[in-house]
């Protein structure tokens, strides 16, 4: 791996940890950044990790000591896919790839009208569309609208309904994208609008995130490069 890719991965990992911290704060939980990892001592919101490593070869035992493993469900985002947590009762949940796209003007025009969510009613409509009937729309709480580093992006159809969306998390060196969705056409339909609004908001920042499977294919189709692996571990309790 080149030094440049390693630098970008570390920036992406830090950005992702900051987004996880923002999501935890919106649920009343406060995590802590250490030299090697961010961690939250109580169980974080659904789909979000208890810890995110920030540097390669983090101390696994010290990391596990910072999170709650008394019950099943603790989750560690191993940002460099270089830990072995099996001895601490974890198993691999999934592997993915960090993705990176240089700051540049998007080449594909969106077919929806895109903007940034600014009020609770639109956030609720966005969350219901993102959830698509799964029963977890309450994950996205109004406190996110007060976070200056978080922009909830929304794509509206011609009839004014929420049709697609994503979350942009700005940090010092990059802007991270997560929760990309479209009710029809999937991530491949959402990415043109996401990239256009992100370039409008943060024209000088490269875009990062992580994906796997079909969502990774969609990101690559829209100009991203896969730059290195990450791994998510789940504790069995």
**Average confidence score pLDDT of the chain:** 96
Checking if the pLDDT of 1 tops 70, the result is no
What's residue 109's pLDDT?
Answer: 85
Separation CA 63–CA 53 (nearest Å): 8
Contact 8, 208 (CB under 8 A): yes
Question: Can you give the pTM of this predicted structure?
Answer: 0.95
Contact 64, 53 (CB under 8 A): no
Angle of CA points 215, 37, 212, to nearest 5°: 10
User: How many Å separate Cα 82 from the centre of its chain?
Assistant: 20
What's residue 173's pLDDT?
Answer: 95
What's residue 106's pLDDT?
Answer: 86
Checking if the pLDDT of 200 tops 80, the result is yes
Higher pLDDT pick, 174 / 70 = 174
């Amino acid at each position: 791996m080149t030094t440049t890719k390693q630098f970008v991965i570390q920036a992406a990992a830090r950005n992702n940890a900051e987004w996880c911290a923002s999501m935890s704060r919106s649920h009343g939980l406060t995590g802590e950044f250490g030299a090697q990892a961010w961690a939250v001592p109580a169980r974080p919101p659904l789909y979000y990790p208890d810890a995110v490593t920030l540097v390669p070869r983090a101390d696994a035992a010290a990391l596990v000591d910072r999170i709650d493993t008394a019950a099943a469900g603790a989750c560690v985002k191993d940002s460099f896919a270089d830990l072995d947590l099996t001895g601490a009762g974890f198993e691999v949940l999934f592997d993915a790839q960090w993705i990176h796209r240089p700051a540049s003007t998007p080449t594909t025009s969106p077919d929806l009208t895109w903007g940034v969510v600014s009020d609770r009613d639109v956030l609720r409509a966005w969350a219901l569309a993102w959830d698509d009937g799964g029963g977890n729309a309450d994950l996205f709480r109004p406190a996110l609208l007060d976070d200056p580093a978080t922009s909830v992006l929304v794509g509206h159809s011609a009839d004014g309904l929420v049709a697609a969306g994503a979350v942009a998390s700005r940090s010092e060196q990059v802007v991270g994208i997560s929760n990309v969705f479209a009710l029809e056409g999937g991530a491949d339909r959402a990415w043109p609008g996401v990239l256009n609004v992100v370039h409008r908001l943060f024209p000088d920042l490269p875009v990062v995130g992580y994906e796997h499977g079909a969502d990774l294919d969609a990101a690559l189709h829209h100009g991203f490069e896969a730059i290195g692996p990450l791994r998510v571990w789940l504790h069995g309790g």
